[in-house]
Amino acid sequence: MHSNRNILITGAAGFIGSHVLRLMVLKYPNCHFFNLDVLTYAGNLENIKDIESAMNYTFIKGDICDAVLVMSIFNDYKIDGVIHLAAESHVDRSIKDPLAFIQTNVLGTVNLLNAAKESWQKKYEGKLFYHVSTDEVYGSLGNWFV
């Protein structure tokens, strides 16, 4: 990874996100990592307590569904790349509240993509957007392939 990058990692207080964030913060000291997390049932700052005082790390409590906040993060911090891990992912919860899943997993992702597109203004060289998901977002494959 190039040095002096500003990378936004969403959902980095969650289980997978905390491991990704820790690896990146420790491996790339010349890059700055911004953790945008709303801290729902899946997010816990205890997961990243060991890196909370790292000079190349900033926590931002907020929701990817807040388009104004997301755009301001891109503008204020000159974000060069995104690792998008924030998601509603528990199938049981999707049955109880499908709208929350649509808002976070669809609208939140669109907000991030729009902010990247607007902020990067066709200067995409060196810019990266990784969208990470789990099998729970899509459901079980069952016996479909068997």
pLDDT at 33: 98
Residue 144 lies in a domain: no
Residue 1 lies in a domain: no
pLDDT at 137: 52
Residue 34 lies in a domain: yes
Count of domains observed in the chain: 1
Q: What is the CATH number of the domain that holds 44?
A: 3.40.50.720
Residue 103 lies in a domain: yes
Residue 78 lies in a domain: yes
State the residue range of the domain holding 68: 6-138
Q: What is the mean pLDDT of each run of 10 residues along the chain (146 residues)?
A: 88 93 97 95 89 97 97 98 88 75 87 96 89 67 57
Angle, to 10 degrees, between the axis of helix 109-120 and the axis of helix 67-77?
40
Residue 145 lies in a domain: no
100 three-state secondary structure: helix
HEC assignment per residue over 34-98? EEEECCCCCCCHHHHHHHCCCCCEEEEECCCCCHHHHHHHHHHHCCCEEEECCCCCCHHHHHHCH
Residue 146 lies in a domain: no
Q: What is the token pair recorded at 76?
A: 């204020």
pLDDT at 34: 98
DSSP string across 13-38: TSHHHHHHHHHHHHH-TTSEEEEEE-
Answer for the pair 31, 24: CB distance below 8 angstroms, yes or no. Answer: yes
Pairing between strand 6-10 and 81-84? parallel
pTM: 0.87
pLDDT at 87: 82
Residue 53 lies in a domain: yes
pLDDT at 48: 94
